[in-house]
Amino acid sequence: EKVERFVGDRGYREIGNLRTMSVEIAYPYRMVVSGAAVRFEAPEEDVIFSPVNADSVRPISDKLDGARTVDELREKYPKFGRDIAELLDLAVREKVVFDRTRLPSTISGTNLLAAVEKHIPSWNERLFNHQLWRGLYQGKFGQTVARGWSIETYFFIRGAIMRMPSVISACRVPEIREIFLEHFTEEYDHYAFFATALERQGVDVGKIERRGPLPSTEAVINFTKYASRIHPLCYSVCSGLLESTGTDAHKGRDFYRHVAEHYDMARTGWVEPMLKHVDLDESYGHGSVMKEIFEQVPHVDRQVADEIFQTAELFVETLILWFDEIVWFYRNREKDECNLVYRLYA
């Protein structure tokens, strides 16, 4: 969806009303200066302002971070004139830019959860529209990519024994730590489902263990450990993003049925353990763990709320790079190469 606004088509508040604002671009928009227009791009809509003087706007395009008032921007950038003030005024009205000084210092856990849940569908759309998932679903890859995907998924699921203790030890709220601990006791051995899937494909799990995961698989695991050290809620959102499919288990089952149709022509049943994993996660209610955690939080400092969204955005990017490498590395490789070594990393 595109929303177009013309600078100069309606009266704007005088500069005096703007001068003390600390203007910041609202998440998930990003500002792009193109020709005589400024675009605020987001997954669901683009808001376009025109006409503008690109030479005047471009110097401040990366300065709208809430750290400077409009007065400070005007003082530092001589080309900051009425046209930019009017642009910012319209952007505030359209809610693609906001005044950080007007924000409360804290946000309730309930409201923060609602804000996170609002963005999960767009994060999931970015993730699962990736060529890895579309290709597996549609049968567009060779057998090696399907096998490689199951190998790296095995390593990631086994990584629960590294990432989940990290957040348990970092959490200082007993009620939340208890939720994490219960989740861990339910999840720590689920890699066995994926080990069985590999064995049914004829993959020697022992050799795979000696070879180790792709660097990007380790990066995803390490990122979740990093998130737990920022704040347990940062970890919770990363985990919640991965577990969100648990509330849509029928989509997971549909995906696995298509994988079996395309990549288990020998009818070995290698996809069945993955389906059992979906069933078990659904029975445990893992899709609601993030909600349970946020319900234990009366309020969160605004800085922590910002860190949660920054962490989630970086996690999505890390996952996409993981998917990229799985496709890149395993495409056109022979079975024994998947089992033994990284020829390009040796």
pLDDT (0 to 100) of residue 336: 52
Task: Quickly list DSSP for 290-318.
Answer: HHHHHTT-SEEEHHHHHHHHHHHHHHHHH
pLDDT of residue 345: 41
Contacts made by residues 186-190, CB under 8 angstroms, sequence distance 24+: 186/284, 186/286, 187/160, 187/286, 188/160, 188/161, 188/164, 190/157, 190/160, 190/277, 190/280, 190/281
pLDDT computed for residue 12 by the predictor? 44
pLDDT at 6: 62
For residues 182 and 187, give the distance between their C-alpha atoms in angstroms, rounded to a whole number: 9
Residues 282, 286: Cα–Cα separation, whole Å? 6
* C-alpha to C-alpha distance for 65 and 56, rounded to whole angstroms: 18
CA atoms of 57 and 119, how far apart (whole Å)? 29
Task: Give the per-residue pLDDT at 1.
Answer: 62
C-alpha distances out from residue 152 to 56, 191, 275, 324, Å: 48, 11, 17, 12
pLDDT score at 86: 82
Q: Which residues of the chain have pLDDT under 70?
A: 1-17, 244-248, 334-346
Report the length, in residues, of the chain: 346
Give per-residue burial for 104-133: e unless 16+ CB within 10 Å, then b: eebbebeebbeebeebbeebbeebeebebe
Give per-residue pLDDT as tens, 245-265.
445 678 889 999 999 999 999
- Is residue 88 within 8 A of residue 77, CB to CB? The reply is no
Hey, what amino acid is at 261? E
CA distance 115 to 120: 9
Q: What distance in Å separates the CA atoms of residue 12 and residue 180, rounded to the nearest whole number?
A: 50
pLDDT at 295: 93
The kind and range of the H/E element at 341 are none
Task: Please give the structure tokens belonging to residue 81.
Answer: 């004139």
Residue spans of beta strands (DSSP E) within 171-242? none
pLDDT of 7 reads 61
